[in-house]
Amino acid sequence: MLMTTLTRPELTAADRCDRCSAAAGVRALLPSGGELLFCGHHAREHRDRLIALEAEIQQSDNEMLELDASIKREGPTT
């Protein structure tokens, strides 16, 4: 039986913050299956709540936020 793993696409310039429509640099994956996109400003503003919700946080390589030790970076690693 073939198992397929679904992965989220990398954030692009077309992805916009759900709060202010600036370029999104952070994706928050909620345990319920929902997804939120944030600019750096709003990711920092909602940091504590996202951690409390146990959201999986993914950042683009262009966004250097210290949100959580379990942050997953998108894009190629060097």
Q: How confident is the model at residue 76 (pLDDT cuts 50, 70, 90)?
A: very low
Q: How confident is the model at residue 66 (pLDDT cuts 50, 70, 90)?
A: low
Could you tell me the two tokens for 15?
A: 């992805």
Confidence (pLDDT) at 60: 85
3-state secondary structure 18-76: CCCCCECCEEEECCCCCEEEECHHHHHHCHHHHHHCCCEEEECCCCCCCCCCCCEECCC
**pLDDT tens digits for 15-59?**
999 999 999 999 999 999 999 999 999 999 999 999 999 999 999
State how far the Cα of 13 lies from the Cα of 56, in Å rounded to an integer. 21
pTM over 0.85: no
Residue 29's closest CA among 1, 62, 54?
54
Locate the domains of the chain by residue range. Answer: 15-62
